Amino acid sequence: MNEFVEQFKSLGDATRMKIIRLLCEARKDLCVCEIMDALEVSHCNISRHLKILKTAGIVEERKEGRWVHFSIANPESTFHKNLLLAIGNLPAELFTAEIERLKLRLSLREDGKCVDGLKSEKWMAALKLIRAENINRYDKRRMQDRR
Amino acid sequence: MNEFVEQFKSLGDATRMKIIRLLCEARKDLCVCEIMDALEVSHCNISRHLKILKTAGIVEERKEGRWVHFSIANPESTFHKNLLLAIGNLPAELFTAEIERLKLRLSLREDGKCVDGLKSEKWMAALKLIRAENINRYDKRRMQDRR
DNA sequence: TTCACGTATTCACTTATGTGCATATAATAG
DNA sequence: CTATTATATGCACATAAGTGAATACGTGAA
């Protein structure tokens, strides 16, 4: 019983919900630094959130040297499945920025692997590009909203 | 987004999960005192838990004089539906005692309505009966487990 | 071996959340 | 009108949970 309560609790946080959604959207393992960059949350908090999710059985990890790859855990119960469905079926608009950043971040991978780690200048540069783009979009949307 | 986080949070508590399961099992409105007796939790805590669930949109209320009847809110989203499915599909064994007490409590209704309110002697008497029954069952089960 | 790096954890702090007890509010009965 | 009743809420407190900054741990590279 408490395991189920724990699963609800583990998802009752916006950052952790976003992490799960990103893992669902990516359909592949993600490492801490990729999630960190996509969500723009400090690495230690991502690490902690992932620990909570792992303890609750929502995600699992695979170590490869110093790298740790996280993925959605195979559901052991219909309960777990329903929770994943709940998050997976939320409107994509709620996660637009995060998903966009994740895609960009994943595009930096080489041979399907994260090579950039923390404080990547490549990432900062890529981020500047989409930020400029988003500001343009934002301005256009504001102009339209005023009509 | 925060409404969905709120829904997860509202269900991330054992008492509130049980409340929802009871409402699902009963398939009818329940008042605070019925839930209180079934879960053996103080009335003020049940009232507070119900408020949290109502605020989150999980349950809704219908007032009838001084009586307030709570029921599962009609799902406004597949998210909400999936959460209800998750709880509704949990094994019944997790809620055996609570469901049993609820059935007993509901059997005290007259004309389909709760008439006993708080501190009902009828309820205390009924409770003693099933407690004696359960102790017998418990003893039998322990005897079997030792074989 | 030392240094760099990805991730995990500690420390200190703030905020959130749960409970018991007492009280308040609104509706009903006498 | 007063007393009773079902439910809601305030107060005080303890515990849980979240964060930033700093540090620790384990692995890999030089």
User: ipTM score here?
Assistant: 0.89
Contacting residues of B for A14, CB less than 8 Å apart: 1-2, 5
Q: Which two tokens stand for residue B146?
A: 């030792």
DSSP A2: H
SS3 B19: helix
Domains of chain A (ranges; CATH) run: 2-145 (1.10.10.10)
Instruction: Name the nucleotide with the smallest C1'–CA separation from A52.
Output: D17
Q: For position A143, what pLDDT does the model report?
A: 65
Distance CA A47, CA A42 (A): 9
Tell me which of A52-66, A91-105, A115-129 is least confident: A115-129
For residues A128-145, average pLDDT: 71
Test the B interface: residue of A53, A82, A89 with most B CBs within 10 Å: A82
Q: How far apart are CA B35 and CA B23, in angstroms?
A: 9
Residue A114 burial class via C-beta count within 10 angstroms: exposed 0-12, middle 13-18, buried 19 and up? buried
Residue B7 and residue A76: Cα distance in Å, rounded? 22
What pLDDT sits at residue A94? Answer: 94
The predicted-structure confidence for B60-89, as pLDDT tens digits, reads as follows 999 999 999 999 999 889 999 999 999 999
Contact list, B13 vs chain A (CB under 8 Å): 5
3-state secondary structure at position A40: coil
Pairwise CB contact (< 8 Å): A90 & B11: no
Question: What SS3 class is residue A54?
Answer: helix
- Structure confidence at residue A147 (pLDDT): 44
Which residues are registered as beta bridge partners of B113? B110
When mean pLDDT is compared across A42-46, A126-130, B12-16, the lowest value belongs to A126-130
